[in-house]
Amino acid sequence: MLIDSVVIVLREVLEAALLVSVLLAATRKLATPGPSLGLAAGLGIGGAWLFGAAMRPISGWFDGVGLEVVNSLLQLAIYIAIVAVIGLLGAGAGTGARRAGAALPWAMVAAVSLAIVREGAEILLYFSGFLHRIGATADVLAGAVLGLGVGFSTGALFYYLLIALPPRRALRVAVGLLILVGAGMCAQAVKLLIQADWLPAQQPLWDTSRWLPEQSLPGQLLYALIGYEATPTPLQVILYLASAAIALAVFAIATRSSVSEA
């Protein structure tokens, strides 16, 4: 139970921690207002609690695959918010910084709060299974503390690494990480829709579970960072590449428009 708790909490916390660290570093380098973490956390925790409380009726939607469908929609909503952030960061790289500064914090709040809703609901669902199990609570809580510590420490490490870079390079690295995180969200959404039989099942393109298991610490870090999966299907890979290309194109167009106004 201790190890399972560490792995599950770490996986869910890492995504939100990495997203927050990248956003904070990017806004600091651009000297633009950062997201209101208090507002994002409040909205996210409240949404996670409501989502967790409604999971039982939601699971009955769409002929019993409601959780998969709703979770995939949450993943896509997070991707859209990340793409909006990427576009605003591109606009903020030139004379559009002032214009982007007003909308950027709100786009970041949307991305962070939606991520907390999804990850928080998963954690609440996991812990709810141990509320009435005598002797399990201590191990589960200890694992949760360890998972939280590793997750937030990794986020802090990424933040300080980005801060140490020159502003232009830090922005490019931050946008690159956001593109990977967003593409990972789309790949995860595709996997959920395959599980719900809304998309066709396919044979995996490859299997790297022997060399890099998904449940290992490096596997969890890559899962949070790039949506790593040991056995991806062709559809997941295609949608991953397409979503990354869309986000990159949005950044390039926004940056070019911003520079042309200079």
Overall average pLDDT of the 194-201 stretch: 93
What was the pLDDT predicted at 15? 81
What was the pLDDT predicted at 194? 94
Most trustworthy range by pLDDT among 8-22, 34-48, 239-253? 239-253
Residue 215: C-alpha distances to residues 10, 153, 230, 236 (Å)? 10, 19, 10, 19
Domains in the chain with CATH codes = 2-257 (1.20.1250)
12 three-state secondary structure: helix
Nearest to 229 by CA among 249, 210, 208: 208
Confidence band for 204, pLDDT divided at 50, 70 and 90: very high
In whole angstroms, give the CA distance from residue 99 to residue 197. Answer: 43
Whether the predicted pLDDT of 262 surpasses 60? no
More confident residue, 219 or 188: 188
Residues 25 and 162 sit within 8 Å (Cβ to Cβ) = yes
What was the pLDDT predicted at 100? 58
Residues 171 and 28 sit within 8 Å (Cβ to Cβ) = no
Answering whether pTM is above 0.85, one says yes
What confidence tens digit (pLDDT) does each residue in 134-172 have? Answer: 556 677 778 778 888 888 888 899 899 999 998 888 888
What was the pLDDT predicted at 236? 94
What was the pLDDT predicted at 96? 47
For the chain, percent of residues with pLDDT exceeding 90: 42
What was the pLDDT predicted at 24? 86
What average pLDDT does the structure give for the chain? Answer: 85
- In sequence order, which residues have a C-beta less than 8 Å from that of residue 192 and are 6 or more positions away? 68, 69, 71, 72, 75
What confidence tens digit (pLDDT) does each residue in 54-74 have? Answer: 988 998 999 999 999 999 999
